[in-house]
Each structure stands twice: as C-alpha cells, then as structure tokens.
A and B are shown apart, each in its own frame.
Chain A
Amino acid sequence: MNKPIRRVSVFCLLLVLALMIRANWVQGVDATALDANVHNQRTVIEAYSYPRGDIIVGGQPVTKDLLVNGNRYKYRRAYVNGPMYAPVTGFSSQAYGSNLLENVENPILAGTDSRLFFRNTLDLLTGKQKQGGNVVTTINPKVQLAGWNGLQGKKGAAVALDPSTGQILGLVSFPSYDPTSIAGITDVQKTWVALNDDKSQPMLNRALRQTYPPGSTFKLITAAAALETGRVTDIDAGTVTPDPYPLPNTKTNLNNEAGDTGCLNASINEALRISCNTVFGKLGAEIGTDRMVQEAQKFGFNSSSLTIPVGVTASNYDTKMDLAQTALSSIGQFDTRATPLQMAMVAGAIANDGSLMKPYLVAQERSANNTVISQTSPQQLSQATTPDVAAKLQTMMVNVVQNGTGTTAQIPGVQVGGKTGTAQHGVNNSDNPYAWFVSWAKAPNGKQIAVAVVVESSNTLRNDISGMMLAAPIAKAMMQAYIGQ
C-alpha cells in the first residue's frame, strides 16, 4: 500500500503548495490593489486613528478632533461655526469622504505629506502620537461673519478678497450645513440623505462652484474693453446710442430696464451709473466677439484650471457668437455665467490698477508643532487691463455708489466703488432674478477689499434696485468689517 500512500502524500503536498502560491499572490502581488480598493476601510480607520490637523481662521482653529474611541474610529472631526465655515473647510466624514480644503489639504491635515516625513519619523522614534499638520487660511473671521449675517434668510453667496494680494477674506454660501453632522459614521446617513435631497442645496458651495448670469455687473468688463480699444476715450463724452437699441441683424430691440431716463446717447460713466443696457450692448457689438472674449478671459473667464487650492468652477463667456449674441453677452446675458469668486476677481482687478491677482485661500501649511512648511506668496494671474483704464473704471464705479444704483454701499470716509446687477433667470425671464453687487473699498489706512455678492432673490423686483437693496448692504457690511477695524 506504500505506493498509493506516497502518491497521497504528494497530493497533500500539492494542496498545501497551492495554498502557499495563492497566499503569495494575494499578499504579494494583489496587496497594493487590495489596499487601494474603495471598499477597504483600513485607510479611513488609519486616518481617524490619530488627531487630524486643524484648519485655522484668524489664528483660531475652526476644526476640532473629538476623541470618541468608537468601535472603528478613535477620533472624529467636528467644526466650530460649522455652517458658516463649511464653504471654506468642507467636510471630513468617516462615512462619506471629504471635500474642499479637507480634501485637497488632506496630505497635510492627515500628516501623510512627504514634507512631514522627517517630523513623523522623529515622532515615531520619540514615541509621540502621530498628528496631522495645520492649514492656515486667509479668511478674515469678521468679514466672514458679516457676509454670513447678511445672507441670513436669503439664498446666495458672498466672496471677499484683498485686491492687492488675492487673499480670500470671506467665502460665504447660504443656506449652509454643519459638517459636524456628517462627520461620523453612525447616525449620519439620514442627515446625509436629507442634505442631498434638500431643494435649497445647503451643501452646494455657491461661492466657488455655482455660476450665475452676471447681469449688469459684466458691463464693467465691456467698459474696460471699450476704453482699452479706444472706442471710448472720454468717459463723460456722449455716445451715439439709440434707445431702444436694435440688436444687429435682428428685429429685436434691446431695452433698458430703468426706462427712458437718460440712456439715449449717454456717456459710459452715466450709462454705468444708471446701468443702461443699450449703451453697453451696442459697445459690445462694436468691439466684436473676439475682442470681448479676449477681455473676459483677461479677467478670468473660461478658465477651468483655477485652484485656490480648492478647484473653482469655470465662469463662461461664449467664444462663438454672432453680433446680437455678443451684444447680449456684453451686458451679462445670453450664455454668460460667472461664479461669485469670478466677479470678486473682476472688482479686485479694477481696484488693483488692472492687475488681477491669483485668489488664494491657504496662507500657510504648517506641521503639527506649527513649523511653517509652505507659505503662499501673492501671484499675478494676468494684467486684466491697463492702470489708466482701471483708474477710469474706478471713477465710474465710485460714481455708481455716490450717485447711482449702489448708494446703499456708501461708507463714510471710505472710497467705495461698485456695480449692481440683476440677472434674468429662467426661460423668458420667468423666475426670480439674481441680485448682484460687486464692489471694492479703499480705506485711508491703505486697506483694500473687493467683494462680490449674489442673492438668488426671493422677491420679484425686476430692476437694478434689487441688487442695491439685497446685495449691496451685505457687501457694505463685509467691506466695513475689514477696513473699519
């Protein structure tokens, strides 16, 4: 019987050999892919097994790490003033991943960034608990709070930035949500579903990720193009503009919202003050599509690569249009769409003598013990217009606030320029219009701020006064919060 027993032995050996080969395959060859599998919870468990770094606003962390010692996760993320800072921080959820700063700055916050390697190794050797690094934002808490308070009960967004550096001072979206409510793993599903199903879209970052038709605020860019091309040299000289203005090659007339109160042959200074559609529509058509596209892009339109470092949705200015469409686009209608950040950049570039600074949200990245790892330095994105044109635009914008549609943004003793906008919304303008206000302020102490506010209007006012009534006071509050300190 020994021969078959030997064969059985070989068979048994082969069985064990098969197991060994398979074990080598799984633990050697497949291991990396298995570790990276989305269903493998080890990465998340590891990430929450030590405190995450903080996101810092105005010297104070707006994030917290709670030691929960739960079944799976030792720590859980929590947020200070969660809803107010949600458009800045985003969320870091054990169940649903992360977004915004929590997502793009994860290597620093989680302490996995290679620049933290040396410190981590040191901590490992000295037995110190692993800890993530900190992210210092450029947000000014007072500006943020002013925007937040202003938008209460409305729906919309506000962005404020420093025109000379591009530092984002405020980033508000309303309605918002509390990231703490979805940070955990248990009992968060209901909240998550409710937030996602909510028609008011509380999780939508309107400041960075939503585009709106910019309406009359776009006239600033048309004015810049008109001045740059020399089509207008004197801002107070009358233009040759009929009212209404028949759109080129069509039988459609372009009307003015405010009625026939002075738009006929108005100068661009006057046209901007009372927001004449006819003057800027005609100017846009005269400048031509290509030149208008060029101008819009200098101010940041059509750029899908802008990161602050959070990705920003591209604002749109169509590149292929006939003259009638260009005329409409030149007053911020047709397909033209802009994020609130984009319009803040427009105001900022004008205030900064035509130089458009790259907006940024992260001032510094620091290790857990607050050693600075990286420092963001201001960077010019483009020379949007010449200093001379910028100066003229500033004059016109001041005129709007002093004598025009933006009087609600006046701040005593401070130079304030602005432009209102009411954007049509819906098919045949059936829905409530969007109220815009873009502005800048320069204080005697040298402080500058540019602000864009959009309110998805809740009433049915159909003229620029809605921008003045709804959006301008919010912008004013944010500007005051910054320069009045």
Chain B
Amino acid sequence: MTTTGSLTATITPQGAPNRRNTELSLLVFAVLVPVLAYAETGIAMDGRLPAGMLGYGLGMGAFALLAHLSVRRWAPHADPLMLPIAALLNGLGLVFIWRLDKAAQLHPNYPAAENQLLWSGLGIALFIAVMALVEDHRLLQRYTYLSGFAALVLLALPAFFPARASDHGAKIWLHLGGFSIQPGEFVKILLPVFFSGFLMVKRDALALASRRLLGLYLPRGRDLGPIVVVWALSLLILVFETDLGTSILFFGIFVVMLYVATERTSWVVFGLLMAGLGFWAVALTEGHVQSRIHEWLHPLPASGGGVGQIAQALFSLGAGGTVGTGLGEGHSWLIGFAAKSDFILGTIGEELGLAGLMAVLLLYALLAERGLRTALAARDPFGKLLAVGLAAAFTLQVFIVAGGVTGTIPLTGMTLPFIAQGGSSVITNWALVAILLKISDVARRPPPGTAVQPNEGP
C-alpha cells in the first residue's frame, strides 16, 4: 500500500497509478461473464438465446460504464477492484433470478428479474449520486446524530405496520401499496455512519477511563451506556420483528466498531457475553427462534412430513457437487418461496457447483478485503471507522445468509448482497460500495506535498 510506506520525493510527484484502466478492463469481464451466463441459461432452458440478450448486455454495459465514468470523474484514485466485483455479483444475481423466474414450479411466477434490473439501475444511480454529491466522506460526519435518529426510526417502523402473511413470520417490511421496502437494509449504512461519528468523539473516554479487573478493562457505567442501549435495541428488534439476522448484524457492527475505536479487547468480551446472554434469553422464550435452531440441528427429517427449506437447500448444494449441473439445469426451485432471495445461494451451489460457490464466496471475501484495506489505508479516524464498519457489515451479512443456507449457522433470513432479489438490498449495497470507494479515493490519493508521508492521519 502506498500510504503505509514512506515515499521519497523523487518518485511521488508523478503519483502512483490510479488504476482506472485496470478497473475498466475488469469491468469488461464483469459484464461479459453474466452476459455469457445469461446466454447459457437461455440455451439450457429454452434451447435458444434469450430474446433480450443484446439489450441486456448493452444495458449492463451502459450501467457499468456510467458507474466507471463517475468514479473516473469524482473518485479517480479509488480502489479498482470494488466496482467490478459489485458489478459482477449484481450481474450474476440477475441471471440467477431470471433463471428462477423461468422455473414455472415457483408460484407465484413473478417476473422478479425485470424488477431487480430496475433496482440495480436505481442502485447504480445512487452510486453515481454518492460519487457526485459526497465530495469527501468526512462530510457524512456532520450527519452523525441524524443518521442515528433515522436508523432508529427506520428500524422501529415495521413494528408499527401490520405484517402480511407473505412475510413469513418476520416483520421487517414496509408495505406501501404494491411496493415494499425493507428499511433494515438502509440502516446497514446509517448505523455505521452514526457509530463512526459517535465513537470518534467518545473513543478516548471509552478506551481510557476504565478500571482494570482480572486483566480486563472494565468500562465505567456511563460509558457502558451506549453498548447497553444497542444491545437492548437489537434484542427488541429480535423480539418485536422476529428478525434474528438483523439483530446479530447490528450488534456485530457495533462490537466491531467499538473494538476498533477503543482498541480494547474487553469490549469484545463484553459484547459477546451480552449478546450470548440476550440471545439465550430470547431463544428460551421465542418459539420462532427455537424452531430455527431446531431446524438447523435437524434439517433432514427422519421420515414422513414435509421437507424444510434448509433441507431443500442442502439437497440443492449436494446435487450440484463439484462442478454443478450447469446453468438452468438444476432443481433448486424445490426450495420454494424464498428461492430468489434468501436461498439463492442454493441455486448457485447447484448449478455452478462447489467451484462456482467458492468463486462467489471469494468475490465476497475480496470485496470485504478491499473495504478493510481501505480502512487500514484511510488517514482519518472517521473514515477508518466507517470503512471497517461497512466492510464488517457486508461480511457479516454474507456470513449470516450464506451460513444459514449452507447450514453452518441457524437460518435467519437475510439477503445475499447484490445477488439476491430485493430492491432495498441492491441499492443499499451500491451505496455502501460507493462510500467505500470515496474513502479509498481519499486514502489512496497521493499527498499534495512532496515531503515524507505520515503513516496515519493527524
């Protein structure tokens, strides 16, 4: 990383290469791969190329190009990998959703791919807007408390709206006419912004003003306040909206950011203890949570009765084996109603096999890693905290949903970033990537002076 080494005056004036052309060439592949996958799916399922092939390819290409141009214009030094990875994941997601749309066995046969394409367009528009409007990520610091407040409101809203039968137990949607959004998704960005701003101010108090006990730093009661509030809040979400995934996600973000801000392991220990205590208490009382845990431990029924979605997802993965059945040739629609959203990883595992699934997981790992690198490289504490918060949120979400589908952890029902059907999720993730790119742009920007570059921010 250029920022961590010391650069001498003799080579810095030219600046490090900004890697925009790398990004562009990677983007070509990021568009080409899904377009070819689309063609292959069409041939496998209908025996011919899909009708909208050209339009789809051009549209994807145009989206990617616009995003790329906006990065060139407004964040020229940004990380070159994040945009291509996001575009590739989004494109693959569209192919899989389209493929599942075509599975007549899924009822209602709702053409989700078109909607997803629309949302992807909106996501990229939001991406470009962030590029253009957020001149510097530090601008977001001004909205610390507004973000916190907005996050609370958005989180609380679904609890006051009547749930629908189609929500399958989790109260996490807002239905406005025929249109529904998942406010929890936006909170995934608002919360890190709030935490970053809040912790940047409080980190010294939290880190230093504490007593030592048994090798652990015990925080003072008044400093303990925020973590207790967030802990209680995440439990409340769990109880009222029966959304285990979101509560784990938010609590995880908070603990990670607190740890990074204070550099105190004791916070992690406290966080895990409190989380454990809280979930244990809820698991004892909430039937919804209990059944999820039971289904995780015993996904395959001994005999008789119906087969749960986890079992179906495991069958999908098993059927895929090492190299998969080929696009459009699996039976992952057997998973049922959430096949296009929460369980889309099952389709990937079945049709692309272990090889494809590993590739997708690697793409996620790589995207998260670029975000964490950005955090390392960022020179201001707000940027660092925000980047680590967003990257951790992204990774945690991938882990929670992929872990649930593969039976690694109990299923909680979240969307797989960029791939799963879901408008709120897609546009949030595009915004998330945009913010990370803005932070990395600042971080990687060659310093204006020619003097020895400091290792970290002031």
Contact = CB atoms under 8 A, between A and B. Distances in A.
A42 interface: yes
Contacts of B320: 27, 31
Interface in A1-36: 1-9, 11-13, 15-16, 18-20, 22-24, 26-28, 30-35
Contacts of A5: 260, 372, 375-376, 384, 388
B263 A3 contact: yes
A16 B375 CA distance: 19
B322 interface: yes
Contact of A27 (B334, B357, B385): B357
A42 B331 contact: yes
Contact of A4 (B260, B349, B362, B398): B260
A28 to B, nearest CB: 7
Interface in B292-318: 300-301, 303, 307, 311, 314-315, 317-318
Interface stretch (B162-170, B186-194, B273-281, B403-411): B403-411
A27 B356 CA distance: 11
Nearest to A14: B399
B105 A71 contact: yes
A373 interface: no
A181 B411 CA distance: 40
A2 B259 CA distance: 11
B376 A30 contact: no
User: B315, B358, B385, B391: which has the most chain A beta carbons within 10 Å?
Assistant: B315
A41 interface: yes
B384 to A, nearest CB: 5
A408 to B, nearest CB: 50
B406 to A, nearest CB: 5
Nearest to B364: A16
Nearest to A26: B317
Contacts of B263: 1, 3-4
Contacts of B256: 8, 11
Interface in A261-295: none
Contact of A2 (B364, B391, B402, B456): B456
B300 A1 contact: no
A427 interface: no
User: A26, A28, A30, A38: which has the most chain B beta carbons within 10 Å?
Assistant: A26
B361 interface: yes
B376 A6 contact: yes
A15 B364 CA distance: 11
B381 A1 contact: yes
A190 interface: no
Contact of A30 (B260, B318, B361): B318
Main secondary structure of the interface of A (DSSP, over half): helix
User: A5, A37, A40: which has the most chain B beta carbons within 10 Å?
Assistant: A5
A16 B301 CA distance: 28
B318 A27 contact: yes
Contact of A15 (B322, B331, B399): B399
A27 B402 contact: no
B353 interface: yes
B369 A9 contact: yes
Nearest to B455: A2
Interface in B325-343: 331, 334
A8 B318 contact: no
B321 interface: yes
Given A8-B260, A27-B320, A27-B354, A19 B361 contact: yes
Interface string B385-401: 10010011001101100
Nearest to A41: B334
Contact of A19 (B391, B392, B408): B408
B318 A26 contact: yes
A368 to B, nearest CB: 22
A72 interface: yes
Contacts of B318: 26-27, 30-35, 40
B261 interface: yes
A40 B362 CA distance: 29
A216 B396 CA distance: 80
Contacts of A71: 104-105
A12 B259 contact: no
B32 interface: no
Interface residues of B, number: 52
Nearest to B374: A5
A39 interface: yes
B259 A4 contact: yes
A27 B398 CA distance: 19
Nearest to A38: B303
Contacts of B315: 34-35, 37, 39-40, 42
B343 to A, nearest CB: 14
B300 A39 contact: yes
Contacts of B237: none
Given A12-B372, A18-B408, A20-B358, A34 B314 contact: yes
B401 to A, nearest CB: 10
B244 interface: no
A425 to B, nearest CB: 36
Contact of A41 (B331, B403, B407): B331
B64 to A, nearest CB: 25
A45 interface: yes
Contacts of B403: 18-19, 22
Contact of B354 (A6, A28, A37): A28
A72 B407 contact: no
Contacts of B407: 22, 26
Contacts of A6: 376
B331 A8 contact: no
User: A3, A7, A30, A34: which has the most chain B beta carbons within 10 Å?
Assistant: A34
B399 A16 contact: yes
Contacts of A4: 259-260, 263
B368 interface: yes
A419 B456 CA distance: 107
Given A16-B395, A16-B398, A9 B259 contact: no
Contacts of A33: 318
Contacts of B392: 8, 12
A8 to B, nearest CB: 6
A19 B321 contact: no
A20 B319 CA distance: 17
A101 to B, nearest CB: 27
B365 interface: yes
Contacts of B317: 23, 26-27, 31, 34
B319 A42 contact: yes
Given A8-B256, A19-B399, A27-B322, A13 B365 contact: yes
B9 to A, nearest CB: 25
Contacts of B406: 19, 22-23, 26
B408 A8 contact: no
A1 B408 contact: no
B375 A39 contact: no
Interface in A185-231: none
Given A18-B403, A20-B358, A42-B319, A72 B260 contact: no
A13 B396 CA distance: 11
A15 B396 CA distance: 8
B402 A19 contact: yes
Contacts of B314: 26, 30, 34
Interface string A81-123: 0000000000000000000000000000000000000000000
Contacts of A1: 260-261, 263, 381, 384-385
A23 to B, nearest CB: 5
A30 B313 CA distance: 13
14 contacts: A1-B385, A4-B259, A7-B259, A8-B259, A8-B260, A8-B372, A12-B368, A12-B391, A16-B398, A23-B354, A34-B318, A40-B319, A42-B331, A71-B104
Given A5-B376, A16-B361, A39-B301, 9 more contacts: A5-B260, A12-B368, A13-B369, A20-B361, A23-B349, A26-B349, A28-B354, A30-B314, A35-B319
Closest 6 CB pairs of A and B: A34-B318, A27-B354, A31-B318, A12-B395, A15-B399, A16-B365
